[in-house]
Structure 1
Amino acid sequence: MPGTALITGASSGLGAEFAEQLAARGQDLVLLARSADRLAELAARLGRAHGVRAEVLVQDLAEPDAARRVGAELAARGLAVDLLVNNAGFGTCGRFEENGAGRDHDQLMVNVVALVGLTHEVLPGMLARGAGAVLNVASTAAFQPTPYFAVYGASKTFVLDFGLALRQEYRRRGIKVLTLCPGPVETGFFEVIGTRKAAVTGSFAQPGPVVRAALRALDRDRAYVTPGLSNLVAAHLAPRRPRTLAAVVAERISRGARDAEKTAPPAPRAAERAA
């Protein structure tokens, strides 16, 4: 896809991998995260390696007016976004009352509010040009209730349903909408949560294959993609169980993550760096 891609959470993990693979396709980039130094280094490297234009946009997506600020900065720089990759997000793990209201608030601001707001900012321009794409990063947690990941799982269910709904609205108006639902991926996500046992399956994918699967699915105008056979099977089986039974099963699977000894997480808003 020609033009410019805006990638959130671009300083590491899946976001940095999206930047790498899109630059290799010849796509110009706007890299957004909180870490200015990391973004600048990545932008310079990709510009040299692939001859693309790579701009840096530093913004904390947990702030209430983050999407408006991003939209204003894009307009000021004369940048039109042809592909929005809503990748930034983070999770919490543990008993709901122990996670803290402030942390869960920031989680929802990044995972849900900023994602919707950025889509509002760039979609009108795509419609005016008659083409564009939105790629939202959800999770296999989107397919069932997830005790001890209650807010994270619910936020990813929102992302999946939001993406599927938008796809139906815009598929005949030149806009592609894909939702990526990966299982555990080797990124900074689990450092933020504080334990690798949050990957309840015990296995991790690498960012490269996950992003390649997502971009292939986008090229084919798929509605959603769940990379990995076991993830695909689980995603298709979960919605066929009664919701209460799915919650019971998920609670038993998630107990290990709940009870794991956790390392101290970074400050809540630093978690935006995780994909």
Structure 2
Amino acid sequence: MFPKKIDHKQPKKTALITGAAAGIGYELASIFARDGYNLVLVDKNEQQLANVTNELKSKFGSLITMITKDLSLPTSSLEIYSQLQAASINVDFLVNNAGFGHYGFFADTDLTSELDMLQVNLVTLTHMTKLFVRDMAKRGQGKVLNVASTAAFQPGPLMAVYFATKAYVLSFSQAIANELEGTGVTVTVLCPGPTESAFHVTTGMAETELVKGKKMMDAATVARVGYRGLMANKTVVIPGVKNRILAETVRFIPRSLVTKFVRNMQELPSIDEGASI
């Protein structure tokens, strides 16, 4: 079961969610809204974000601040933080969900897209965490949910940069969770396996052995498991028994074999240059 809904006699807390217009981000926004929290929703897709905002306002009566922002821009984190400071909005839950992937051989893929990926998946996530965790620690309470992936547990040929960014998110989150012990601030890292979304089609992975014909967890289930883990102050949350077993197993297999296995799972008969999302 979900944690009990908040006491509406108390000032409502606020959850900031990036990448909130679709997928896991949208599902997390829906859960927070259903449980009575105020929301700050961030996404670069203005129309889709507006649709989500209107839907959640209508369905749950949520107080929502909508921020259209391209998180691949280095200035985006500080702009979001400054806008909320000016509006006197304290963030009690920070959900760094935004991210994207790129498929193909590293020597052939587009550098600009990969630099944007590093900015969104890694640099912006770190900057957002730095800005908001400082305030949380001063207030003696707060929660951070960083969305990584089971990709974080091994190298990923044909998605080398993406896998590496998720490994960073996992390591970073575990480290600062330890540093923040006793401050009233907790950090949770969510590591879902392949999830039903447009990700696999857009990146060109739909025909790989990893994806084709496989029954994947849906975004709503992933969000629900991640939310429960966040509220329970868990540090690492891996939805699905199979995903948890695989994440643990790779620690005991030679790294070279794991890398070859991942490549076999991700390789296509012929690979074109990857498409970013």
- TM-score normalised by the chain length of structure 2: 0.90
Q: Paired residue for 1:222?
A: 234
Q: Paired residue for 2:218?
A: 206
CA distance, structure 1, for counterparts of residue 198 and residue 180 of structure 2: 33
The structure carrying a bigger helix percent of its residues is: 1
Which has the higher relative contact order, 1 or 2, with Cα contacts under 8 A spaced 6 or more apart? 1
Q: Kindly indicate whether residue 199 of structure 2 is the aligned counterpart of residue 189 of structure 1.
A: yes
Q: After the TM superposition, which of the residue ranges 168-177 and 194-203 deviates more from structure 2?
A: 194-203
After the TM superposition, which parts of structure 1 deviate over 3 Å for at least 4 consecutive aligned residues? 258-262
Q: Kindly indicate whether residue 48 of structure 2 is the aligned counterpart of residue 42 of structure 1.
A: no
Q: Paired residue for 2:165?
A: 155
5+ residue gaps in structure 1?
Answer: none
Displacement of 1:190 = 2.1
Give the share of equivalent positions with the same residue, in percent.
35
Q: Paired residue for 1:255?
A: 267
Q: Paired residue for 2:69?
A: 59
Equivalent residue letter for 2:181: R
CA distance, structure 1, for counterparts of residue 134 and residue 208 of structure 2: 38
CA distance, structure 2, for counterparts of residue 243 and residue 36 of structure 1: 42
Deviations 1:202-251 (A, max 9, x none): 33211111111111111211111111111111001012222222212222
Which residues in structure 2 correspond to 1:51-200 (within 5 Å)? 51-197=61-207, 200=210
Q: Paired residue for 2:34?
A: 24
Change (3 A) 1:42 1:143: same
Q: After the TM superposition, which of the residue ranges 180-189 and 131-140 deviates more from structure 2?
A: 180-189
Equivalent residue letter for 2:232: R
Report how many aligned residue pairs link the two structures: 265
CA distance, structure 2, for counterparts of residue 130 and residue 57 of structure 1: 26
CA distance, structure 1, for counterparts of residue 239 and residue 18 of structure 2: 20
CA distance, structure 2, for counterparts of residue 193 and residue 71 of structure 1: 31
CA distance, structure 1, for counterparts of residue 270 and residue 36 of structure 2: 46
Deviations 1:142-181 (A, max 9, x none): 0011111100000000000011001101121111111100
Q: Kindly indicate whether residue 256 of structure 2 is the aligned counterpart of residue 244 of structure 1.
A: yes
Equivalent residue letter for 2:250: A
5+ residue gaps in structure 2?
Answer: 1-5, 7-11
CA distance, structure 1, for counterparts of residue 73 and residue 23 of structure 2: 22
CA distance, structure 2, for counterparts of residue 180 and residue 8 of structure 1: 14
Counterpart contact for 1:61–1:110, Cα < 8 Å:
yes
Displacement of 1:197 = 3.4
CA distance, structure 2, for counterparts of residue 198 and residue 166 of structure 1: 35
Change (3 A) 1:197 1:142: farther
